[in-house]
Amino acid sequence: MKKFFSIFMATFIVSLNVSTIFADDTKIELPEISKSLDIINSKKNKIQQSNLKKNKDIKIFIDNNQLESIIPVVYQDRIYLPLRTLGEALEFTTDYISENKIVIINYGKIQLPIGQNKAVVDGKIIPIDKENNNIGTVVLDGVTYLPLRFISENLGYKVSYDVSKKIVSIQTGKNKDKEYKQLTQNEARDIYNQILKLNSELKSKTLQSDVNINSILSSGEDKIQFKEISKTDIKLENENNLKLYLKQSVNIESMGEKQTTEQIGFYKDGEFYVKQGEDKVKVKYNLEEINHIISKDEGYSDFIVNASVRELNGNKKEYKFNIDFNKNKELLEELVKGLNLSNEDLDILKNIKVKENTFSIIVDSKNIILEEYEKFSMELEHEGFKIQSNINSKSIIKDINKTKVEIPNEDLIKYQLVESIEI
């Protein structure tokens, strides 16, 4: 198990980005369910689900790019797409509260009870379809489908349908932003360091993150493929002393089996405490030192190969950085010390080959980070094991300088000290 933890930490360390270490230790909180949903959930608003049919002839385009291999469902002349497909295509976050059978979009902006013809949008009850009371969120073959036009329009996008060509077109408006301008390497490193320094000085923040990891672990001819989807949310306060509280939900699929785990954690006095079910462990982490290492001007900026910038609507900017982590091993040694890992862990980290690492940050007019996106792929070989991983992540930063962190008031003696937290 220690070896697998080391491999996990290798992926974790190399995928750290401009938000520093704190962006990966996270707290999740599902949005508060609107009280209006009690009104919606009634027999009066219940739809009659029948005759759902898949239609291979309908094509979906988003900003003139076709969604390949997607078969929409047609129900009473309305077009539906699977929840996960639509979320990935339109880049919105999703949660599902199974107890109440409610789909949550963008942390509560849109709340849809399954099988009902009304929804809550920005706290207000509205019909899902003004012309047809039998349109709502439906389930087919265990897959949740959402009405395409309702979701798209309530996210602020324009939807049109060419009946003769059977083409749905969604325009998000993102292509109205200006084109990317290439930065020199010195310009890229300077702006990176400016943004990093400014954001490391923030007193507090809340970060909500979605991470998708697809990996293949092989040994000889044996291969195991696994997929991990995690939703995390971190609250960080660093005014007088560092306070950190997190909760994480992880879904793992491997060898035809699915597993869901939830854990909470917090950082106090140089130790990180993690609780998963009845298990309580703690490990010594010098997060302040790790933050210092990553925040140094000579830190990650040395890895920047090239970068570009473009102006967005709302007086925002997006910076794109391409990173090469394959050359600076000294930084890895410093991180290993901060994470209290062993020389064996360092040897494993040195075997990492990063194939791709690009990340984008969206900042406001003051260069405060609002959103982050990262694509990361790597290979690692060690003692007959080989792991290939592709990671995609999206993070939203909010409540800047307003976040308050409360460490749980419980008996910390019950937490068992371990060398490393086994994943």
Q: 185 and 111: one domain? A: no
- pLDDT at position 7, please? 38
> Which of the two residues, 91 and 175, has the higher pLDDT score?
91
Answer yes or no: is pLDDT of 420 > 60.
no
- pLDDT at position 43, please? 52
Q: 139 and 196: one domain? A: no
On whether residue 114 sits in a domain, the answer given is yes
On whether residue 423 sits in a domain, the answer given is no
Q: 151 and 196: one domain? A: no
On whether residue 204 sits in a domain, the answer given is yes
Answer yes or no: is pLDDT of 352 > 50.
yes
Q: 106 and 197: one domain? A: no
Q: 355 and 293: one domain? A: yes
| pLDDT bucket at 84, cuts 50 / 70 / 90 | confident
On whether residue 352 sits in a domain, the answer given is yes
Answer yes or no: is pLDDT of 385 > 70.
yes
Answer yes or no: is pLDDT of 369 > 90.
yes
Q: 399 and 305: one domain? A: yes
> Which of the two residues, 197 and 343, has the higher pLDDT score?
197
Q: 314 and 194: one domain? A: yes
- pLDDT at position 4, please? 37
Q: Give the mean pLDDT of 201-210.
A: 90
On whether residue 54 sits in a domain, the answer given is yes
- pLDDT at position 149, please? 93
The pLDDT tens digits for 93-127 are 888 887 778 888 887 789 888 888 888 898 888 99
Global pTM reads 0.59
User: Hey, what amino acid is at 255?
Assistant: M
The pLDDT tens digits for 243-254 are 889 889 988 888
Q: Of 238, 243, 239, whose CA–CA distance to 266 is shortest?
A: 243
| pLDDT bucket at 407, cuts 50 / 70 / 90 | confident
Q: 127 and 216: one domain? A: no
Task: Give how far the C-alpha of residue 139 lies from the chain's centroid of Cα atoms, to the nearest Å.
Answer: 25
Q: 284 and 361: one domain? A: yes
Answer yes or no: is pLDDT of 410 > 80.
no
Domain boundary pick from 176, 194, 220? 176
| pLDDT bucket at 308, cuts 50 / 70 / 90 | very high
Q: 190 and 147: one domain? A: no
Q: Cα(405)–Cα(270) distance, rounded to whole angstroms?
A: 16
Answer yes or no: is pLDDT of 360 > 60.
yes
Answer yes or no: is pLDDT of 78 > 60.
yes
What average pLDDT does the chain have?
78
Q: 93 and 219: one domain? A: no
- pLDDT at position 60, please? 92
User: Hey, what amino acid is at 369?
Assistant: I
- Which of 73-77, 86-90, 175-179, 250-254 shows the lowest per-residue confidence on average (mean pLDDT)? 175-179
Tokens linked to 237: 């306060």
Q: 60 and 208: one domain? A: no
On whether residue 392 sits in a domain, the answer given is yes
**Host domain of residue 112:** 37-176
Q: Give the mean pLDDT of 224-247.
A: 87
Question: Distances from the Cα of 223 to the Cαs of 3, 97, 292, 377, 422, in angstroms?
Answer: 17, 34, 39, 18, 22
Q: At what angle do helices 287-295 and 329-338 cross, to 10 degrees?
A: 160
Domain boundary pick from 154, 176, 198? 176
The pLDDT tens digits for 158-175 are 999 999 999 999 998 765
- Which of 228-242, 292-306, 353-367, 385-399 shows the lowest per-residue confidence on average (mean pLDDT)? 292-306
- Which of 37-46, 81-90, 328-337, 361-370 shows the lowest per-residue confidence on average (mean pLDDT)? 37-46
Q: Give the mean pLDDT of 394-418.
A: 85
Answer yes or no: is pLDDT of 40 > 80.
no
CATH of the domain at 46: 3.30.457.10
- pLDDT at position 297, please? 43
Domain boundary pick from 131, 151, 176? 176
Q: Cα(332)–Cα(24) distance, rounded to whole angstroms?
A: 17
Residue % of the chain over a pLDDT of 90: 17
Q: Of 5, 423, 3, 12, whose CA–CA distance to 211 is shortest?
A: 12
* Total structural domains within the chain: 2
On whether residue 422 sits in a domain, the answer given is no
| pLDDT bucket at 13, cuts 50 / 70 / 90 | very low
On whether residue 243 sits in a domain, the answer given is yes
| pLDDT bucket at 20, cuts 50 / 70 / 90 | very low
